[in-house]
Amino acid sequence: MPFSTKWFLIYYAILGLLFISGGCYLTFRPTVIKKWLLRVAENKKPPVLLIRILKYLTLFTLPGLILAFLPFSWIELLFCIWSLLLMYITGVQLVRWDQSRTLIQNKQEQLVSSIRKSGAIMVSVGFAILLLAYSVVERAI
């Protein structure tokens, strides 16, 4: 089994489980996340936790982008491009933190439903990522 296959199998499995567990937490505990968001929205600087998440996601996506070519795989390449797009969108929100935090503070009543929707989306994306892990195993056999 090539190194790139092992890399993507581990990467997909861990990322899928993280998305599912994080999405379940967001879905079933939205008030805790709302309190955290309101607390970090008081600061002028973006939350360090989100910056660290982006940093580690970048740390694992860039090698994956290179490994998608060894051997070439459209699925892995598209996944890495999707991950980079997701990081870009999140990074833009962090760069525009003044506007984002104002929006969080002004839309407090809609925050819980938005958090629940985000959690449900994360759970479904997590299952899709686990299906990608399954496809990696199927191709390796």
Structural domains of the chain, count: 1
Q: Give 80-136 as a DSSP string.
A: HHHHHHHHHHHHHHHHTHHHHHHHHHHTHHHHHHHHHHHHHHHHHHHHHHHHHHHHH
For residue 72, the model assigns a pLDDT of: 85
For 119, the domain range is 3-140
Q: What is the pLDDT of residues 111-132, one digit of tens each?
A: 999 999 999 999 999 999 999 9
pTM (global) more than 0.85:
yes
Intervals of the chain under pLDDT 70: none
Q: What is the pLDDT of residues 94-106, one digit of tens each?
A: 999 999 999 999 9
